[in-house]
Amino acid sequence: MKAPHSQYWNWTAKREKKAFLALEDGSIFRGYSVGFSHDRVGEVVFNTGMTGYQEILSDPSYSGQLVTLTYPEIGNTGINQDDMESRGMFARGLIVHDYNKQSNWRAEESLSSWLSRHEVPAISGIDTRALTIRLREKGTLKGCLAVSGSLTEEEAVALAQNWEGLDNQDYAARVSCDKVQQWDVDGSISRSWGITENLPATDLQIVAYDFGIKWNILRSLRISGMAVTLVPAKTPARDVLAMKPDGVFLSNGPGDPAAVTYAIAAARELIGKVPLMGICLGHQILALALGGKTSRLKFGHHGCNHPVKNLLTGRVEITSQNHNFALEHDSLDSTKIDITHINLNDQTIEGISHRSEPLFSVQYHPEACPGPHDPFYLFDRFRSLIEGIKV
């Protein structure tokens, strides 16, 4: 019997495209290349989501990272333009157990082709369960994805060890837009949400800092009746205030929040002058501007199944998350700042609000729809916060 095409492709790739992942602790995981043939170093993390690899790879928050997917079968749904979260691919590499050819009616391109076109390496055929266990036990590790065939295992380990890593590195400026722009409400909403004719009028003007913003955040703000002006990460607060916005949004993004000093300074200047909302990196930046501190988690939160308790309502939300740093409980001034959300897995801070200033932030992603819509109320909360000030 003739072998199915996808099975034949895997056999051929295993034989002809041998590759390996080398970790800084000397561990080697062998497999075969399914992406661009170029070696790459990065921070190795694991994501527990069963679906959404295209959204993960196109999320700028994954810049600098080699993403391990714990779900074993990857590639079946292919790639399509509707599911993009940004203008391109930002993860440094992809690590999967078993790559499959696409077999979905929405697919416009294969995952392998998309990876190669964006010059992102990927490896398949490795024991991702063993890799995930190692990362959980030892913590996040630096790695080298060796797919070109030109590196020895010893050389790859040395490259991983010598890479600067993400600590104290400003990645937000690397992924941000380069000019002020209006979020264009066109096919980007209609294709993904199917709502062009029934969109509400935009009665609020929002300025959003782009530290690596996801398109679904922009869509969510627009669906909530807010017109959005996007500004680069290093835009001074005075320039934002000169636009006379009704509110300012601090976006998600990659890297170490303490390294984004210009954003912390801008947020500090904006506090008390305009309503503020932050998500993920924006949440951390806002907390740092309020005098808080952040520290690295052992292996981070990466997935779409994290339970978060809203301490204001008692409800539990199933959330999407991607971050390696978290706020330190004891660093926040409890006389001014309330902790509003807690991660039920490890009790880390997932949300804060100020008692006297119009601002709040959350660590997780309310636009990512894992619940599927548990946290979407946060965009309405931002509206209510602004409307309360305008009254």
pLDDT tens profile 95-124: 999 999 888 899 899 999 999 999 999 999
Has 367 been annotated as catalytic?
yes
pLDDT beyond 90 at 226: yes
Mean pLDDT of 55-82: 93
pLDDT at position 295 is: 96
B/e letters for 33-53, b = 16+ CB within 10 Å, e = fewer, are bbbbeebbbbbbbbbbbeebb
pLDDT beyond 70 at 58: yes
pLDDT band of residue 372 (cuts 50, 70, 90) is low
Residue 109's identity, in one-letter code, is E
pLDDT per residue over 135-185, tens digit each? 999 999 999 999 999 999 999 999 999 999 999 999 999 999 999 999 865
pLDDT at position 51 is: 85
Has 373 been annotated as catalytic?
no
pLDDT at position 88 is: 86
Domains (ranges, CATH) in the chain? 5-162 (3.50.30.20), 172-390 (3.40.50.880)
Higher pLDDT, 151 or 52: 151
Q: Which of 144, 280, 301, 304 is catalytic?
A: 280
H helices, E strands: number in the chain: 12, 19
- String of DSSP letters for 61-100: GGBTEEEEE-SSEESTT-B-GGG-SSSS--BSEEE-SEE-
Higher pLDDT, 140 or 10: 140
pLDDT beyond 50 at 279: yes
Q: Which of 97, 301, 323, 365 is catalytic?
A: 365
Mean pLDDT of 230-239: 98
Has 280 been annotated as catalytic?
yes
Question: Model pTM?
Answer: 0.92
Distance CA 52, CA 119 (A): 20
